[in-house]
């Protein structure tokens, strides 16, 4: 009987810890991208807006289960509690927004996905960013020797302070 009770409790505990783990702070994520070189994905949203709630409750846990957060550094920014940082990340645009930053030899490259999206669209967004990042890394030596640039950096570096 105790095994059945524990079998029901452990998955709930794992789900709660997964949700806590995906709420990595922006400051910690920023430090992690500098150390790891991986792209960073930031979800900017609110706690109360239904599209943000749907992304937070449905899409983000599915991304974690499918191990996307092992390939990118992830953070969430609440646009009400961290208004200044949210404005800097989104340019004052609507939420929810997923913003991806990648560091290239020419500077930072930023991509964004605005609005509520399903899991497949978000996965495609992350996958495309990772593929671009990997291609940039493979071409780095060729660019250095040929002087050719493979991607124009928009110099939209991620903000360095948490707010």
Q: Rounded to the nearest 5°, which phi and psi values hold at 114?
A: -105, 135
Percentage of the chain beyond pLDDT 90 is 63
Q: Mention every residue, 6+ apart, whose C-beta is less than 8 A from residue 56.
A: 43, 45, 76
Query: 128 or 144, which is more confident?
Result: 128
Q: Residue 158: how many CA atoms within 13 Å on its side-chain side?
A: 29
Question: Residue 19 pLDDT > 50, yes or no?
Answer: no
Q: Note whether 154 and 100 are within 8 A (CB).
A: no
Confidence class for position 158, pLDDT limits 50, 70, 90: confident
Query: 161 or 26, which is more confident?
Result: 26
Confidence class for position 149, pLDDT limits 50, 70, 90: low
Query: 14 or 108, which is more confident?
Result: 108
Confidence class for position 146, pLDDT limits 50, 70, 90: low
Q: Which domains does the chain have, with CATH numbers?
A: 2-146 (3.40.30.10)
Residues 109, 107: Cα–Cα separation, whole Å = 7
Confidence class for position 18, pLDDT limits 50, 70, 90: very low
- From the list 61, 64, 72, 76, the residue with the least C-alpha distance to 26 is 76
Our separate counts of H helices and E strands in the chain read 6, 4
Average per-residue pLDDT in the chain?
83
Residues 124, 54: Cα–Cα separation, whole Å = 18
Please tell me the predicted confidence (pLDDT) of residue 95. Answer: 97
Instruction: Tell me whether the omega of the peptide bond preceding residue 96 falls within 30 degrees of 0, making it cis.
Output: yes
Q: Which residue has the tokens 């991806």?
A: 100
Confidence class for position 104, pLDDT limits 50, 70, 90: confident
| pLDDT, tens only, 60-95 | 999 999 999 989 999 999 999 999 999 999 999 999
CA distances from 28 to 31, 42, 72, 78, 122 (A): 5, 12, 13, 15, 22
């Amino acid at each position: 009987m105790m095994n059945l009770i524990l079998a029901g409790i452990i998955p709930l505990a794992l789900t709660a810890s997964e949700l806590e783990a995906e709420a990595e702070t922006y400051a910690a994520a920023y430090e992690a991208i500098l150390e790891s070189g991986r792209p960073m994905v930031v979800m900017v949203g609110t706690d109360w807006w239904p599209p943000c709630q749907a992304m937070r409750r449905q899409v983000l846990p599915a991304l974690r289960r499918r191990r996307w957060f092992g390939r990118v550094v992830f953070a969430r920014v609440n646009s009400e509690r961290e208004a200044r940082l949210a404005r800097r990340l989104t340019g004052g645009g609507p939420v929810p927004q997923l913003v991806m930053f990648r560091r290239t030899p020419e500077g930072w490259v930023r991509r964004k996905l605005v609005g509520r999206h399903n899991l497949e669209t978000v996965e495609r967004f992350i996958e495309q960013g990772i593929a671009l990042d990997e291609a940039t890394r493979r071409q780095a030596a060729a660019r250095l020797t040929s002087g050719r640039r493979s991607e124009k950096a928009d110099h939209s570096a991620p903000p360095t302070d948490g707010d």
